[in-house]
Amino acid sequence: MNCEILCVGTELLLGNTVNTDAADLSDMLSGLGVNVFWHTVVGDNPARLAEAVEIAKKRADLIITTGGLGPTYDDLTKNVLAECFGRKMEYHPEEGEALKAWFAKNAANRFTQNNMQQAYLPERCTVLHNDWGTAPGCAFEEGGVHVIMLPGPPNECVPMFRYRAVPHIKSLSDETIFSHQIRVFGIGESAVEDRFRDKMERMANPTLATYAKFGEVMLRVTAKAHTEAEAEAMCAPVVEMVRRELGSAVYGVDVDSLEALCLDLLKEKGLTFATAESLTGGLIGARFTALAGASAVYKGGAVTYCNEVKAHMLGIDRDMIESKGAVSYETAAAMAKGARLAVNADLALSATGLAGPDGDGVHPVGTVFVGLADRDNVWVRQLKLGTRRARVRQLAANHAFDMLRRYLQGLPIIEG
């Protein structure tokens, strides 16, 4: 199936918003064995949108739109698509009621009549109810072309695709596509590619592909068969081969993230942890507590953005900080030990370093120390994570969670 992703939004054409939807949907579509051959972006302009739809109709058999489903007058994707495919718009009472209920519950003061626009969808469509926002999506088929419309905001578009569009797309093909995502941390993409290039080029079904994910590598094994069981059986040996090749750098298969894996392992083992964050300023805690159920294993900790707080909240010896420096092996170790005791947790993670742009005159920007403490020991990883502030901070958090999962998986903690 050949797919065009058609994103609607003037903010994309003004460079106000980066088009992450197109990347995220493309990524997930390739996992479904759908060929994405075109991304098109047009603004909130009915004529140009209609032109774009006419072009897409001729070359694609699946058109996925993002954006323009909201309540405002420039949200015109539904109306234009309906017209291009010769369908009327009709009111969907169940969506109307859901909208009224949502506003009554969440934002009674913000309800305005134009919000009800969102309950109008093309006639004879499959409604894709939106549990992540107010604007429902929809799907229909006309003249052999399948259309799926999704909202634009990434925090709605991505779950809407995963939980609403994917089942619909799967139902369109008599072949089943099954894929495993192998998550790897600690090896670069090109190194992984070098390891598997020959195999990847030879393989047809199942296929193996690598993707660079912010500071990680993801390998996707995809098989096509008539039943999911068949397809899954075809994937299994490839997953095993990759595990053998990459060893403990493979942190999981079909897991969401390093922190999600840590949450599962901590629950399993009945262990709790704490955090002491300098460089990351709360990012480790924020990423972990983004996971539902985090409170079962995470007790909290300190954001020690200045030395005085390191000393006061974690009982770290000021002189040691002065002599060794806030960015040092010793301080990272003391932060982890101090946080574990202060919070009375089984384990603790710490991060200190220089995210930049300014250095400290001693270490280059990107110098980072990440620590892990348990009752008896402390481990510290020293890292050089480049010069881009956002990347340094995220990678430092990744390393903290990698140390934690290695501890919980009984693997060596410092390597990788």
- Residues pairing with 141 in the sheet: 146
Q: Give the number of residues in contact with a second copy, rule: CB under 8 A.
A: 115
At its nearest, how many Å lie between a second copy and the CB of residue 124?
Answer: 28
Is residue 39 at the binding interface for a second copy, with CB under 8 A as the rule? yes
Is residue 294 at the binding interface for a second copy, with CB under 8 A as the rule? yes
Is residue 387 at the binding interface for a second copy, with CB under 8 A as the rule? yes
Burial grade of 398 (CB within 10 A; 0-12, 13-18, 19 or more):
buried
Read off the amino acid at residue 129: H
Of 233-292, which residues contact a second copy (CB under 8 A)? 275, 277-278, 280-290, 292
DSSP 226: S
H/E stretch holding 225? strand 216-225
- Judged by CB under 8 A, the residue of 26, 79, 176, 248 near a second copy is 26
Q: Would you give the distance in Å from CA 35 to the centre of its chain?
A: 21
DSSP track, 251-289: EEES-S-HHHHHHHHHHHHT--EEEEESTTTTHHHHHHH
Is residue 157 at the binding interface for a second copy, with CB under 8 A as the rule? no
At its nearest, how many Å lie between a second copy and the CB of residue 221?
Answer: 12
Is residue 50 at the binding interface for a second copy, with CB under 8 A as the rule? no
Of 390-409, which residues contact a second copy (CB under 8 A)? 390-391, 393
Of 104-123, which residues contact a second copy (CB under 8 A)? 105-107, 110, 112, 114-115
Cα→Cα distances 11→16, 65, 159, Å: 5, 15, 21
Gap between the Cα atoms of 377 and 295, Å rounded:
24
Question: Which of 258/284 has CB closer to a second copy?
Answer: 284
- Judged by CB under 8 A, the residue of 100, 211, 232, 409 near a second copy is 211
Is residue 173 at the binding interface for a second copy, with CB under 8 A as the rule? no
Question: Which of 306/414 has CB closer to a second copy?
Answer: 306
Q: Which of 179, 148, 174 is nearest to 161 (CA)?
A: 148
- Judged by CB under 8 A, the residue of 143, 270, 357, 410 near a second copy is 357
Residue 334 makes CB contacts below 8 A (sequence gap 6+) with 310, 314, 316, 317, 320, 321
At its nearest, how many Å lie between a second copy and the CB of residue 80?
Answer: 15
Of 74-103, which residues contact a second copy (CB under 8 A)? 74
At its nearest, how many Å lie between a second copy and the CB of residue 302?
Answer: 6
Which strands sit side by side in the sheet containing 176-184, from one edge to the other?
207-213, 216-225, 176-184, 250-253
Is residue 303 at the binding interface for a second copy, with CB under 8 A as the rule? yes
Is residue 205 at the binding interface for a second copy, with CB under 8 A as the rule? no
Instruction: Tell me the per-residue interface mask from 179 to 198 with a second copy, x by CB under 8 A, - otherwise.
Output: --------xxxxx-xx--x-
At its nearest, how many Å lie between a second copy and the CB of residue 224?
Answer: 13
Gap between the Cα atoms of 341 and 348, Å rounded:
9
Gap between the Cα atoms of 148 and 92, Å rounded:
17
Is residue 363 at the binding interface for a second copy, with CB under 8 A as the rule? no
